[in-house]
Amino acid sequence: MAIPSKRRRSARLRKKLHLEEFQEFGFSFEATVDAACSGERYDAIVDAFLEQVVEARGLGMGGNLSGAYIQAMDRSSASDADREAVQAWLEAQPELGNVLVHPLSDAWYPPEE
């Protein structure tokens, strides 16, 4: 979805469209999961990640441990502190490698490729 055209809008409409002062940011990450990590161990890592980092920080996640997008669950933005917490937790897991946490990006209007 492209960012709506730049024209004068009311605050109510800017909020509805998540524009300007109502813009929300999130970030994506990628990681390589060890091939030996499957089944119950994989599920345990996902559950721990969701409980200890994602939900504890008021975030939501779409994806899996190989790659996901994370953003705030309320009408706010994820922060650089959230990015650092996610990266630190993922890098501390021996079953995960090549962790790459991307910079903050617009959660509603991804850049056009």
Query: Domain 24-106: which CATH class?
Result: alpha beta
CB 64 within 8 A of CB 49: no
Q: Where are the domains of the chain?
A: 24-106
DSSP state of 57: G
Q: Where are the alpha helices (DSSP H) in 27-79?
A: 40-49
Backbone angles phi, psi at 16, to 5 degrees: -60, -35
Query: What does the pLDDT look like over 71-80, one tens digit per residue?
Result: 999 888 999 9
Query: What does the pLDDT look like over 29-87, one tens digit per residue?
Result: 999 998 888 889 999 999 999 999 999 999 999 999 999 999 999 888 999 999 999 99
